[in-house]
Amino acid sequence: MNTRLFIIAVTPGIALALSVYFTDRYDKEPLSLLLKVFILGALSVIPVAIVENFLVSLNIFTGYIGAAYTAFVVAGLTEEFFKRGVVLRTAFKHEAFDEKLDGIVYAIFSALGFATVENIMYVVFRFTTNPHIGLYRGVFSVPAHMLFAVTMGYYLSLAKFATESKMRKKYLKKSLFIPMVLHGIFNFILMVNISFVFVIFIPYVIYLWIVNLRKLNEYYTESKILFKRQIDMK
């Protein structure tokens, strides 16, 4: 295995995970739980690969419909389902999940665990002769997984703290459906290989950053207010 390519592959995911960890300044999550979520997110690559291979075998479509099936169902639905499943089975009911920012943090760690292993597979093993793959995936693909996770965590938190069962179910559905759609659009633009469609790729990536940074800032501000309120009460 090429050590240099391995370092290139793992650096984006680890760097983004650390940046999110240090962003959560006021009520940090247990490091042991974050590592568990990250590792299980990484291991989710295994069931994702199995399900994706099965779904690919069912693809009877061609052209744009086939690309849409692959982008939204094979990749988008499958990957977001398993990344979300990691959070639901580890952190969602944990006592440390006690504010809305936590949902985003846990979703990001699950997504980055998955994205890191996926990146190793692409950079180290699949495209070893292409020096640009590591750069492209480090700038676009790995951060994209993080951005989809921000939306996922945003709705997981709304579900976590919803007071009505109906609203909880609604937000849980959104925590899967909306990241799947965002993921699917991202992949579809790259898969159709049409110049006029690809023109919207960079604007779409910018849109993802703007929308999800707003979501992150919303919960970060709320975390800050809650922290200061607790200090004032002491």
pLDDT tens per residue across all 234 residues of the chain: 678 888 888 999 999 999 999 988 888 999 999 999 999 999 999 999 999 999 999 999 889 999 999 999 999 999 999 999 999 999 999 999 999 999 999 999 999 999 999 999 988 877 776 767 877 888 889 999 999 999 999 999 999 999 999 999 999 999 999 999 999 999 999 998 777 777 899 999 999 999 999 999 999 999 888 878 777 776
The 3-state DSSP class for residue 206 equals helix
What are the tokens at 109? 């760690």
Residue linked to tokens 């559905």: 173
pLDDT, position 192: 87
Tokens standing for residue 113: 């665990």
Gap between the Cα atoms of 97 and 157, Å rounded: 9
Direct distance between the N- and C-terminal alpha carbons of the chain, in angstroms, rounded to an integer: 55
pLDDT of residue 234: 63
CB atoms within 10 A of CB 105: 32
What is the per-residue pLDDT for 131?
67
pLDDT confidence of residue 127: 73
What is the per-residue pLDDT for 11?
A: 93
Angle between helices 31-43 and 45-57 (to 10 degrees): 30
Residue 1: what pLDDT?
Answer: 64
DSSP for residue 127: S
| Residue 58 phi, psi (nearest 5) | -95, -5
Give me the pLDDT at residue 137, please: 84
Model pTM score: 0.94
Angle at 7 between CA 112 and CA 120, to 5 degrees: 55
CA pair distance 78, 12, nearest whole angstrom? 22
One-character DSSP codes across 50-105 = HHHHHHHHT----HHHHHHIIIIIIIIIHHHHHHHHHHHHHTTTSTT--SHHHHHH
Residue 17 near residue 144, CB atoms below 8 Å: no
User: What are the tokens at 50?
Assistant: 């199995």
CB-based burial label for 58 (10 Å; 0-12, 13-18, 19+) = exposed
Provide the pLDDT for residue 193: 77
Q: State the CB neighbour count (10 A cutoff) for residue 193.
A: 9
Question: Which among 70, 91, 224 has a CA at the least distance from the CA of 152?
Answer: 91
Q: What is the pLDDT of residue 24?
A: 87
* Distance from the Cα of residue 1 to its chain's centroid: 27
